[in-house]
Structures are given as C-alpha cells and as structure tokens.
Amino acid sequence: MITTPLILGAWLAQMGFLLRAVERETGRASLAADLPRYGSSAQWRGIYLRGEKIGFSVTQTSPVADGYEIEEDGRLRMSLLGMSTVTKLRSIVLVDRAFGLRSFSCSLDPGTGPVEVRGRVEGQRLQLSFRTARGTREETRTLATRPTLSANLTHQIVAAGLAVGKRFDIALFDPMTLTNAPATVEVVGREVLFVGGLPLPTYRLRSHFIGLDATMWITETGEVVREESPLGMVILKEDAQQATLLGAPGAARADLLEIASVVPRSKFPIPDPTAVVRLRIRLDGAGTLLARPDVSGAGQTLLPGNTLEVRVATLKATQPLDPDARGYLAPEPFLESDDPAVRAEAAKAIAGVEGAALRAEKLVRYVHALIEKRPTISLPSAAEVLRTRVGDCNEHTVLYVAMARAAGIPARIAVGLVYLLGAFHYHAWAEAYVEDPAGRGQWLPVDPTLNQFPADATHIRLVRGGLEQQAALVASIGKIKIETLDVQLRPGSERVLVGRERTDMSALDIPLPRRSGTTCWGR
C-alpha cells in the first residue's frame, strides 16, 4: 500500500485534522477517470474510517526485467472544516525477483501540486530525493539493513514462505514520514473471508510498527484482502465499481474528532487558553514519550508522577548560550531555508527590524498574515507553502522555521497538544532561539498559526522535529489521558480556582501572549 491504514489513520489524527464529513460522491468518474492504466489484473480496495468510506486505492504488479514493478494510486475525498478536498497518492516501486526493494517513487498531491519522495537502494545506502515544484533536494542515508516498503511487504513474506506461527523481522521504511523503524509480522492463523459473496482462503497476519499493531488478511499470493488498524481505519478488497463509490454519512465527523482530541479530567476547566501563563497537568498513556528529552526545556518541565508544567516564556533570556542552537540553522528536507525564494521572503519580512527577539516576533506576524488558513492533507514543504500560501498549522510551522533559519535565527518544529473548546488537540508550532547582547539566550515557543509570540501555556510539547521524529506520536494516539492539576492566568484575568484556594495572578511578571485569526480547527 502507498500508506497502510495504520500509518494513514494515525498520521491524519496526529496532524490534528478534524474530518467534517466525507464528500458525497455519486459520480465515480471524477476520481477514477485518470486511472485507465490499470487492467483486469489490478486489485481495487475501499478505504473506510469507522465504517464510512473516505477513499480507495488500486494496485497492479507487472513483471519487468529481473523483477517486478508495483504501481499504486489512491484517492481520499474529504470535506475538512467545510472545504472539499481531494488528495491523490501515487507510488511506483521496483523490486527484484524476491521482491527486495530496488527503488521507489511516492507522491502526495493535496490539489496544490505534488510533493514527491524518490529512493534508490545501493547496498546499505538509501539515496533519497525530495521533489516539489520549486526543485529537488537529495540526501543519502546509511541503513543497518535493506529497507522494505508496505508495497512489497506481503510479497516478500510470501516469497519467504507462509506458515502459521512464522515471524518476520524487517526494517520498514515509510516514505510519507521518512521513518525507518523495526517492524514485526507474525502469521497467526488461517481464515476464510467472503468477498463479493464468495469464500476466499486467507492467512491472518499481525504486525507491529512504531508502537501500533495492525491486522491484515492476505491470500497465498500476497494480495491484501482486508487490513485493520486500532484507529478504526479499514481497507477492503472490492471490485473497481464498488471501490470508487464514496458515500457521506455524517458520523465520520464525530469519529475523527474523538480520535484527534483528549478531553482532560478536571473540575476546573480552562476558561480562556490565551490567558493561561502556567499549566500543570498529569499525562498518562503516553508510553515512552515522557522518556524523551523533548518534553523538558523551553518553558516546559517534567515533574515526578508523569506531571508536566508549562510556563509562558518571559522575553528576558536567563540561560547561558546553547552551544547546539546553531545546528538549527541548516536546511533539511521540507525545511528549505537555503531556497532563494525563502531567503528573499525572510529578508523582506524582517527588513528594518533589529534584534533576534524582534525579528522572531516579526516573522510570526508575517507568516500568520501570509498563509490562507485552509486545512490540507499534505507533506508540508516550506518552499511549496511559500508558493501556494495556503495551509494549516503544519504549513505555518514549516514556513516559519525555514524563514527563521534563513534570517539567521535558529528554529525547530514542536508537536504536541494545544487546548481548544474543552479538549486538547494535536498541533504543531515552532521554537525560536533568541540571543541578547549580554551573551545569554533561550528557546521561545512561538505559534505562527495562532499569531502568538510567545505561545500560551496550553501548548504541551511531546516531540521536536520533522515527520520522521513526529512518528513517535503515533503509538500514543487514542491512549493519552490528561488531568488538569493547576491553571494560572495572566494578570488582570479572572481568578481561577486551583485545588481549594484561589490564586492571585497580580504578582506574576509574565508577558501577555497575543493572538488573532484561526487555527487548524478555527480557534
């Protein structure tokens, strides 16, 4: 598969997308008209979320010289925050006779143009290239073992021999998140499934990857008949006509909203997140996330008992310079801080502004105003975001980080949870490193989507970094539980009851976070 339901469902949820409803679609031609290359041997599947169809995929395996070509296309048609969107996914994978990976090309197009990831295996090295309308960036990675994609996974297993009780340990590479991680697949039984009313013998497989378990049923030739993830994503083998027929029950809205939110346990709700300057919560169900160094620093502290405390940063640096901060000036895949257009836009944004803190703030205001607030399903690239100027929290964040680096301000991506309308939702924002003339510096959480400098204290950071690091969130989705232990507001706000006492905020010397506009969810 281009992306399995496991990865796709978790990715949609962790990025904070709230699926309003699947678009009603009775005319199939608009979604499948550009797929005439698939013949009678193609395998069609419907993609469902909690019982509601949201898309389809089609796969075709063809023999080529010394191996096979596995071609796949997928369509997801959704209405996000009331806006209809069609996302196209496409992959071409070349494998040898044993279905070992040779090369691949995977792309995702949310309607503004494709972002493509290409790879070529050379021994233990993986040559990668990232292509957008703005150009190509290349990278080489050395891997401990030859990678496998989900597209050739089942074929590899069949080639190695299917038998109940057999276990396969592989390195699974996901081009959508650039994650290469150990995966296990175990053949747990034989079952007969009914497809189109006819019985079909299958092997039932259980897989474990980046903390999540999934189940799939495959034929003895490796064809996927059914695949399920714990997030309610299901792929089913169907004929072409049935696979491309989409429906639009409204129940899908509540389902994904539930997946992508965490309602805290507390007698004292947060009345206004913009006014919160100190928040203390107990966070359970996060697995290994709290053991990562990402959860401490930049105003956030891990305390005993799975307790996190977040304080709004002051604008006065109090720490010695971070010797590692300058490492966050370099360009990365999808953070093209060396792109001429990104550099020019950054220079334009901070023209006439002196001082790192003032420049960091000016970039927050500039990026917030520059991007049209529109939910997207994409692989956000800073150069592409600058070209299209549309997107949600992910697009705002990657463009801000790239422009900050282009302007000489170290910056990085932060991902976690932010409070909205009675619940915490997955969200992305940035951290900018600012120095003062006295030779001290600090990392400031800033949020260009919410137009906040600094970000309010309801931003609970769980991970730092791009898509590859963000994959660590997947295992926690649907499991995290939060209890609000302490809430303090900025001076002048209504006093908030904490425990059995009221806390006077007048003595706190903390600046007021500023915000305007909307978020990924219209905050």
pLDDT in tens, 430-459: 999 998 877 789 999 999 999 999 999 999
Q: Over the stretch 289-327, which tens digit does the pLDDT of each residue have?
A: 888 889 999 999 999 999 999 999 887 767 888 889 999
pLDDT of res. 448: 95
Per-residue pLDDT for 58 more than 80?
Answer: yes
Residue identified by tokens 């979604």 is: 31
Is residue 245 domain-shared with residue 207, that is, in the same domain? yes
519: in domain: no
Confidence band of 260 (pLDDT split at 50, 70, 90): low
Final residue of a structural domain among 257, 283, 313: 257
Q: Over the stretch 68-94, which tens digit does the pLDDT of each residue have?
A: 999 999 888 765 544 556 788 899 999
Alpha carbon distance, N-terminus to C-terminus of the chain: 35
pLDDT of res. 309: 96
- Using an 8 Å Cβ cutoff, are 477 and 416 in contact? no
| Highest mean pLDDT pick, 46-55, 408-417, 431-440 | 408-417
Residue identified by tokens 């697009």 is: 395
Per-residue pLDDT for 24 more than 60?
Answer: no
Is residue 121 domain-shared with residue 63, that is, in the same domain? yes
Nearest in space to 408 (alpha carbons), one of 328, 521, 314:
328
Nearest in space to 482 (alpha carbons), one of 508, 502, 518, 458:
458
pLDDT of res. 429: 95
Confidence band of 20 (pLDDT split at 50, 70, 90): very low
pLDDT of res. 83: 54
Bigger pLDDT: 315 vs 164: 164
CA–CA separation, 523 and 517 (whole Å): 8
> In whole angstroms, how far apart are CA 212 and each of 67, 205, 208, 235, 289?
31, 14, 6, 17, 14
Is residue 15 domain-shared with residue 97, that is, in the same domain? yes
Q: How many CB atoms lie within 10 A of CB 394?
A: 27
Mean pLDDT of 364-373: 93
515: in domain: no
pLDDT of res. 220: 93
How many distinct structural domains can be found in the chain? 2
Is residue 238 domain-shared with residue 266, that is, in the same domain? no
- Using an 8 Å Cβ cutoff, are 493 and 510 in contact? no
Per-residue pLDDT for 275 more than 70?
Answer: yes
What is residue 436's three-state secondary structure? coil
Helix 340-349 / helix 393-406 crossing angle, nearest 10 deg: 80
Provide the mean pLDDT of the chain.
80
Rounded to 5 degrees, φ, ψ at 438 are: -80, 0
Question: 207: which strand partners?
Answer: 185, 214
Rounded to 5 degrees, φ, ψ at 405 are: -60, -40
Is residue 115 domain-shared with residue 134, that is, in the same domain? yes
Is residue 419 domain-shared with residue 301, that is, in the same domain? yes
pLDDT of res. 430: 97
- Asked, as a colleague might, if the bond just before 454 is cis with ω within 30 of 0, I would say yes
Tokens for 465, please give them: 């970094």
| Highest mean pLDDT pick, 129-138, 253-262, 312-321, 382-391 | 382-391
- Using an 8 Å Cβ cutoff, are 115 and 379 in contact? yes
Mean pLDDT of 467-484: 80
70: in domain: yes
pLDDT of res. 79: 54
Is residue 247 domain-shared with residue 338, that is, in the same domain? no
192: in domain: yes
Is residue 346 domain-shared with residue 232, that is, in the same domain? no
CA–CA separation, 68 and 276 (whole Å): 57
518: in domain: no
How large a percentage of the chain has pLDDT more than 70? 81
What is residue 190's three-state secondary structure? strand
Burial class (CB in 10 A: 0-12, 13-18, 19+), 324: exposed
509: in domain: no
523: in domain: no
Final residue of a structural domain among 241, 257, 273: 257
pLDDT of res. 18: 31
Task: Please compute, for residue 428, the number of CA atoms within 13 A of its CA located in the half-sphere on the CB side.
Answer: 27
Is residue 149 domain-shared with residue 291, that is, in the same domain? no
Q: Using DSSP bridges, classify how beta strands 460-464 and 411-420 pair: parallel, antiparallel or unpaired.
A: antiparallel
The CA angle 232-237-243, to the nearest 5 degrees, is 85
pLDDT of res. 5: 38
Final residue of a structural domain among 226, 257, 288: 257
Mean pLDDT of 175-201: 88
Query: What are the residues whose beta carbons fall under 8 Å from the beta carbon of 62, sequence distance 6 or more?
Result: 68, 69, 71
The domain of 55 spans: 5-257
Rounded to 5 degrees, φ, ψ at 331 are: -70, 155
pLDDT of res. 516: 34
pLDDT of res. 258: 53
Q: Kindly report the CATH number assigned to the domain that includes residue 355.
A: 3.10.620.30
Is residue 188 domain-shared with residue 223, that is, in the same domain? yes
Burial class (CB in 10 A: 0-12, 13-18, 19+), 377: buried
Is residue 291 domain-shared with residue 221, that is, in the same domain? no
Is residue 145 domain-shared with residue 272, that is, in the same domain? no
